[in-house]
Amino acid sequence: MNYNKKTVTDIDVAGKKVLLRCDFNVPMAKDGSGVITDDKRIRAALPTIQYLLEQGAAVIACSHMGKPKGEWKPELSMKPVAKRLSELLGQEVIMAADIVGEDAKAKAAALQPGQILLLENLRYDKGETKNDPAFAKALADLAGADGVYVSDAFGTVHRAHASTAGVAAYLPAVSGFLIQKELDIIGGALADPKRPLVAILGGSKVSSKIGVINNLLEIADTVIIGGGMAYTFAAAQGGKVGDSLLEADWEQYALDMIKKAEEKGVKLLLPTDTVCANAFAPDAESKVVPTGEIPDGWQGLDIGPKTVEAYCAAVADAGTVIWNGPMGVFEFDKFAVGTKAVAEALSKTDAITIIGGGDSAAAVQQLGYADKMTHISTGGGASLEFMEGKELPGVAALLDK
């Protein structure tokens, strides 16, 4: 897939209306008070918004929040986002009472260069997730005849929705700075990596990572396996994994991947030792055993010290490291050791370090290594599909450079 897409700086937006798809899907307090508990995504959108406003565009921002499934749920209104965004921008954010209805149309038509309007939750309309052409056209029409579409919601580019892909049929479509960075860094690492390219893959299940393992075995020099899915590999090779996470249906796949690595000359590293526990609990009793010798009643919750050493050595002289999936149950301090050690090793290399996946990003943040990485992807599911080498509809829809 072509990652070389036009961006906001490749197109003239002065005096034009810009339909800007943002990711304002922020977590809200559960009590319905309208309090945003983490405004990171709103702050992340500021560079593109500020650039457009400074260029003299009139910005019509839109996003979804939660999953209202076509129902007008008041607790999922974008109003609190408008309030927070206006505080951060230091200017009024005009709030539309609807999405493509009379109020939005009137406010979009009256919008002046340097002003910003926010539409209501896109998923209040069923046409959004259905990628209904009529809804996409109605969104595009808000920007008028010489309007422009800017896509900056990386978290939804793997979905072909009206606001992420459909709308590009009616307006010239370019990326904002957030998507541009994802394409430059992840796209660059997949298409033309600085070598050696080391992929570290972990997390809970093999079945959720089959595409990622398969694709990275095509392009990486070394593939490292950790986390819960390592036990399916161990069992496939005849090891005893006790009560560890095991997907018996995927053992053949694991063997196929081991064979594929051999054929391709890719170094495949599997954990040689494991920290296993007598329960899935933060204070469980634990001990280190060889990975294929986990006793009955015990389960592997982290990679062991020898494995940690081998994995850290493997990333030390890497040119690029792509990491998806924690090495263990990092949510429990006692079993976060392997994940932490790998994060620390990444923080010390000169390699380009890329973190993809929602839990992996959370782990790196929680463990305090976020600012040491080259790039932490802002899209969980989207970054996974990106690493699987899949075509992302919201990227494919943008104009080629």
Q: C-beta of 199: minimal distance to Mg ion in Å?
A: 17
Rounded distance, CA 93 to CA 111, Å? 11
Q: Which C-beta is closer to Mg ion: that of 300 or that of 358?
A: 358
Q: C-beta of 203: minimal distance to Mg ion in Å?
A: 6
Q: Under a CB-based contact definition with an 8 Å cutoff, are residues 318 and 353 in contact?
A: no
Token pair 């896109």 in the structure block, residue: 122
Catalytic residue among 16, 21, 41, 159: 41
**Residue 205 a catalytic site member:** yes
What is the total count of residues that contact ligand ADP (CB under 6 A)? 21
Which of the residues 372 through 391 are near ligand ADP (CB under 6 A)? 380, 384
324 binds ligand ADP (CB under 6 A): yes
Rounded distance, CA 139 to CA 197, Å? 41
Spell out the residues 6+ positions from residue 270 whose beta carbon is closer than 8 angstroms to its own.
Answer: 225, 230, 233, 234, 291
- Tell me which stretch binds ligand ADP (CB under 6 A): 15-23, 126-134, 158-166, 321-329: 321-329
Rounded distance, CA 285 to CA 268, Å? 30
Which strand (E) or helix (H) includes residue 303? Answer: strand 299-303
- Tell me which stretch binds ligand ADP (CB under 6 A): 24-32, 70-78, 247-255, 354-362: 354-362
**Residue 188 a catalytic site member:** no
What would the DSSP string read from start to end of 323-335? EES-SS-TTSGGG
Binder of ligand ADP out of 187, 358, 379, 394 (CB under 6 A): 358
Task: Give Dmax over CA atoms of the chain in angstroms.
Answer: 70
Asked, as a colleague might, if the bond just before 282 is cis with ω within 30 of 0, I would say no
Q: C-beta of 37: minimal distance to ligand ADP in Å?
A: 20
Terminal CA-CA length for the chain: 13
366 binds ligand ADP (CB under 6 A): no
247 binds ligand ADP (CB under 6 A): no
347 binds ligand ADP (CB under 6 A): no
20 binds ligand ADP (CB under 6 A): no
| Binding residues vs ligand ADP (CB under 6 A) | 202-204, 208, 227-228, 245, 300-301, 324-326, 328-329, 331, 357-360, 380, 384
